[in-house]
Amino acid sequence: MKLLFLSLLSLLPIVSFGQHQLRAAYFGETITHYGLKIAYDKSFKKWDKTKESGADIRKEFLYGASFAAFRHPHQLVGLIASPEITWRRTGKRGGLIDVAFAPAYFRYFYEGKTYEYTGTDFRKIPLAGRSAFLPTLSLGGGRDLSVRREIPFMWYYRVNVMRQYPYNSSSLMRFALEAGVIKKF
Question: Contact at 8 Å (CB) between 35 and 71?
Answer: yes
Q: Give the Cα separation of 6 and 8 in Å (integer).
A: 5
**What is the predicted pLDDT for the residue at 17?**
57
**Helix, strand, or coil (residue 118):** coil
Average pLDDT, the chain: 88
Nearest-CA neighbor of 178 among 145, 143, 148, 139? Answer: 139
Question: Contact at 8 Å (CB) between 92 and 58?
Answer: no
Triad 156, 160, 163: Cα angle to 5°: 165
Nearest-CA neighbor of 113 among 129, 98, 100, 124? Answer: 124
H or E element, residue 5: helix 2-10
Q: What sign does the CA torsion over 33, 138, 66, 163 have?
A: positive
**Helix, strand, or coil (residue 10):** helix
pTM for the structure as a whole: 0.84
When pLDDT is averaged across residues 149-171 and rounded to a whole number, the result is 92
49-108 pLDDT, tens digit each: 887 777 788 999 999 999 999 999 988 999 999 999 999 999 988 999 999 999 999 999
CATH tag, 19-184: 2.40.160.20
H or E element, residue 133: strand 129-144
DSSP E strands in 13-113: the ranges are 20-28, 35-50, 56-72, 76-90, 95-110
Q: CB within 8 A of 134, min separation 6: which ones?
A: 80, 82, 104, 105, 106, 162, 163, 164, 165, 174
Length of the chain: 185
**What is the predicted pLDDT for the residue at 102?**
96
pLDDT at 12 over 90: no
Q: Residue ranges of the domains in the chain?
A: 19-184
